[in-house]
Amino acid sequence: MSATAPSVDVKTDEAAQDLTDGFHLLIDALKLNDINTIYNVPGIPITDLGRYMQAAGLRVLSFRHEQHAGYAAAIAGFLTKKPGVCLTVSAPGFLNGLTALAHAQTNCYPMILMSGSSEREIVDLQQGDYEEMDQLAIAKPLCKAAFRVLHAEDIGIAVARAIRAAVSGRPGGVYLDLPAALLGQAMDAAKGAQSLVKVIDPAPAQIPSADSIARALDVLKGAKRPLIILGKGAAYAQADADIKALVEKSGIPYLPMSMAKGLLPDDHPQSAGAARSLALKEADVVMLIGARLNWLLSHGKGKTWGTEPKKFIQIDIEPKEMDSNVEIVAPVVGDIGSCVSALLEGIAKGWTPPPAAWTDAIREKVSTNVSKMAPRLQNNNSPMDFHGALGALKTIIKQRPDAILVNEGANTLDFARSVIDMHKPRKRLDVGTWGVMGIGMGQAIGAAVETGHPVLAIEGDSAFGFSGMEVETICRYNLPICVVVFNNGGIYRGTDVDPTGRDPGTTVFVKDARYDKMMEAFGGVGVTATSPDELTRAVNEAMDSGRPTLVNAIIDPLAGTESGRIGNLNPQSVVSKK
């Protein structure tokens, strides 16, 4: 870079008592806005910035890879409704963090990625600076907003704009470009303090129109088989009491998307989670609360939704979301808390519950499916299958409702979504809208840091491979995280072969891998479990102790299925070659 960090803290240098600089203005701007935790990977030109942040009282957690620092910041935004901040070096470090920023944008998590960068005059002339890259131009298409700060006196307003952009309206990812020379720029301390901005009401309520509420209630009243779908936007809103009241007072069955599980307990009598197929196919009116009709809901059409026409009501803060795949007959635009509150008022003025034939059919199907599944969840096979292992973990989560579950993988994710019940909101964190693998350790660390609660991370062995080195980060900060790696020796299954006999199959890993030794190498606890009983003992001990633990859970290599439950997205060749 063309500028380096100063070797003297200008705030404590007797010769410069009345000066401040970009380092300290950035820190002061963050602290003024109650942002006190930073997730980062240090290096040129931000190494000293991290040191100054720690000295100023901010908590700075250093990761082994920027992508996972970014995933931690993204999930911090989801959990707190304040933008999580990821700090990276320039060029390659920025690009690593950019994946997490795009992930945050796709999932509507408020996050700010701040990256050091080369000076504009060098980048624009392509003169070949250290890690030279036009980072602002690259970031813009992948986030909600992107800003570059060139002058120290603009740092306060830039941070304020980034915060407001991240949390207002539909939340998302924001990029803040910090050229190296900016950090070392000095200015009068008093003027610097005056340049800082405390953001007032960064995410103002957006009240739905009275007409839209009346229209939605009219459509619901005309329904014979209504269904409510709760998305992670409903969980993010933290309007838990009103959402629960709306569901219960309306009497309408509800289906939670994976990260909305726990808004009402999954064993609630109105939950249609175990009757998902029936509910989607047979419902005549569907009300979406913070959920989008994307691929996770088959875009609102096709065989998933049956043959009968549907009427959709959609509650979303983003008007452009309406009619994205199918007609929305009753769009309700506003923040979820305000919309749900308005619907509650309408229901209070007179409401007839849905027909008993519909609610009874849902309950009967739930009961039947739960009964069918129960024996599979109670087996004690060795090696384990997915159901036996997840049955053991389901009991642990029920006994520890305050624990946070992080979950990723193919079969590990798909089965866990339907097997493990959640009992409190924002306790299940997974791959989100993109279905991206590698979020596990970053989200586990972010959740532990932001909430102080114990975390159980259930990982497929393939998914764990993306972020496994972060177990050192878990041990370094002594976080109460228990990682369970479902080790079936490969992606989907551990049985694929190379027909030429030359190499292992493309989806196969090292047989009998000892992931537990990774955690032991950094001072944590490593355990191997070969049966559900052993798994139960190991996880309970880890959760009781609060020590960083990794359980290597041995799963039968034959137990998995290709692509989990989204095999329809995996194209098949129509050509047969002998």
Domains, the chain, with CATH or none: 14-194 (3.40.50.970), 210-364 (3.40.50.1220), 378-554 (3.40.50.970)
Phi (first) and psi of residue 319, to 5 degrees: -60, -35
Task: Convert the pLDDT of each residue in 105-164 to its tens digit.
Answer: 999 999 999 999 988 888 887 878 877 789 999 999 999 999 999 999 999 999 999 999
pTM: 0.94
DSSP string, 520-567: HHTTSEEEEE-SHHHHHHHHHHHHHH---EEEEEEB-TTS--TTTT-G
Distance (Å, rounded) from C-alpha 136 to C-alpha 115?
10
Q: What is the pLDDT of residue 493?
A: 87
Residue 209 DSSP code: P
Task: Convert the pLDDT of each residue in 149-177 to its tens digit.
Answer: 999 999 999 999 999 999 999 999 999 99
Measuring CA to CA, how many Å separate 466 from each of 33, 349, 413, 437, 460? 33, 53, 15, 7, 10
Nearest Cα neighbor of 401 from 531, 543, 276 is 543
Q: What is the pLDDT of residue 159?
A: 98
Q: What is the pLDDT of residue 565?
A: 64
Q: What is the pLDDT of residue 121?
A: 81
**Three-state SS at 136:** helix
Measuring CA to CA, how many Å separate 67 from each of 62, 94, 439, 460? 12, 9, 9, 19
- Chain Cα centroid distance, residue 332: 25
Q: What is the pLDDT of residue 132?
A: 74
Tokens read off for 274 = 């175990």
Distance (Å, rounded) from C-alpha 121 to C-alpha 112?
25
Q: What is the pLDDT of residue 576?
A: 59
Return the sign of the alpha-carbon dihedral for residues 148, 154, 155, 156: negative
Measuring CA to CA, how many Å separate 247 from each of 88, 91, 237, 250, 380? 43, 48, 16, 5, 37
Residues in the chain where the model's pLDDT stays below 50: 1-8, 10-11, 14-16
CB atoms within 10 A of CB 45: 26
